[in-house]
Amino acid sequence: MKKLEKYIIPTLILVVVVLVYLVYFSPIKGLSSFNDVDPNAHVQKSLAVRLVIEDGIDRSSVPGKTIFFAEDRDGRKSRISAPNDAIPPGLENAETVNILGHFHGTTFDAVEVEME
């Protein structure tokens, strides 16, 4: 019985440590939701979203801006506008991107775009 008790506490501690790592520190991140951004606030929010390449990337219709579409984890698609100098080369090849910005009406104005 004593031997069994000797292994129960370290096992429980190990399980707790693993759970804390998986919940808080795991490098595996999913997509974010546009619902996490308050449309009435101008606070910059970072989101991980899926690039919708089928809708294209427009670099010419708005001077100095690049327009593209992205989809969040809920399947909600939104128009993303970012300055040309914030767009990384090879954006067309990315599956997911991290965008930092806020909503301005129905468009997410990104100040930073990073490929994952």
Domains and CATH numbers, the chain: 30-115 (2.40.50.590)
State yes or no: pLDDT of 51 exceeds 60: yes
State yes or no: pLDDT of 28 exceeds 80: no
d(CA 35, CA 24): 21
The answer to whether the Cα torsion of 87, 89, 91, 92 is positive or negative is positive
* DSSP, res 57: E
pLDDT in tens, 61-104: 889 999 999 999 889 999 999 999 999 999 999 999 999 999 98
| pTM (predicted TM-score) | 0.72
Tokens at 103, concatenated: 């909503």
